[in-house]
Amino acid sequence: MKRQRITPYLLLLPGLFPIVAFMSLVVGMAVSQSIGYFNFAGDDRFSLEFWEGMLSQSQFWRVFWYSARIAILSSLISVMLAYPVALWLRRPFPGSDLISAMIKAPLLVHGLVAAFLFVNFISFQGFLNVALVKLGLIDRPIRMQNDSYAIGVVILQVWKNMPLAFLVVTGSVRSIGDDILDAARDLGAGSLARLRRVILPLTLRALQAALILIFIGAAGDWSFQVVAGPTNIQSMAQFMHRVQSDNAAHGWNEAAVVAVMLMALSLFGSLILAGLMQLLVRRMGR
């Protein structure tokens, strides 16, 4: 009996051990560098001055909240767009497989390629501006590339991550049996009540998983920000690279502080977002 209890955990070890080992190594290295160790270009000693210096910079917090805003908007909009489509495609119908494949198509396009395509589309002499001028909607081309509000970055994040949210949510939605919905209908629940009290609670875990995955990816964005992002502010990944390049003596230590803060943003931001989603679904289910 005892052996049967241990066996499942032993089977997890081959896959789990490398993940835990490499994650521990990376996190431990970043934390150590942030407090003065493993400095590849200067002295190697314990110090909290890198944390004090970085956290006292207004520019750092501007970059931090910018990345948090992009991650929140991208994850919420992606899930909000993917969820109704997943519900619509819950029951197969002629053409549903084709629609599902088209929705997943952006997963096959690399993010950097997508960013360049998007920039070409909205550039000063791009298709969108030319079409608007030809239609007489505007007198001359509008500058939409590298907009100050990072609308282009959010559009790219949603375009790239909405299929991921769709994949995660679709499996959960399709696992809901018709007998459960029929039972709710027999008890007098309308379409909205079935959505609030049956479907949403049963798909809550999938929604949370999609939010967390997209939030973490968007918070650490590099390629979309470099190609299509605003020029007056950087993402956390950009800022980390710049800090490491600009400061030859302690660049690695300061960049490690930004890296640890980025990991903290990804961890706590995604958990807070998932918790708020759970609270919202529970309140809607009452």
Q: Which domains does the chain have, with CATH numbers?
A: 57-107+148-285 (1.10.3720.10)
User: Distance between CA 178 and CA 205 in Å, rounded?
Assistant: 20
pLDDT score of 286 more than 80: no
CA quadruple 243, 247, 252, 256: dihedral, nearest 10? -40
pLDDT score of 249 more than 80: no
Amino acid 123: pLDDT: 84
**Which pLDDT tens digit goes with each residue over 174-224?**
888 888 888 888 888 888 888 888 899 999 999 999 999 999 999 998 888
User: Distance between CA 160 and CA 214 in Å, rounded?
Assistant: 10
Q: State the average pLDDT over residues 122-130.
A: 85
The end-to-end CA distance of the chain, in Å, is: 42
What residues contact 195, with CB distance under 8 A and at least 6 apart?
87
1 pLDDT band, cuts 50/70/90, is low
Q: Identify the CA nearest to 219 among candidates 182, 254, 180, 268.
A: 268
pLDDT > 90 in the chain, percent: 40
pTM value is 0.87
Q: Are 141 and 127 in contact (CB under 8 A)?
A: no
Q: State the average pLDDT over residues 64-90.
A: 94
Burial 158-185, CB ≥16 within 10 A → b, else e: bbbbbbbbbbbbbebbeebeeeebeebe
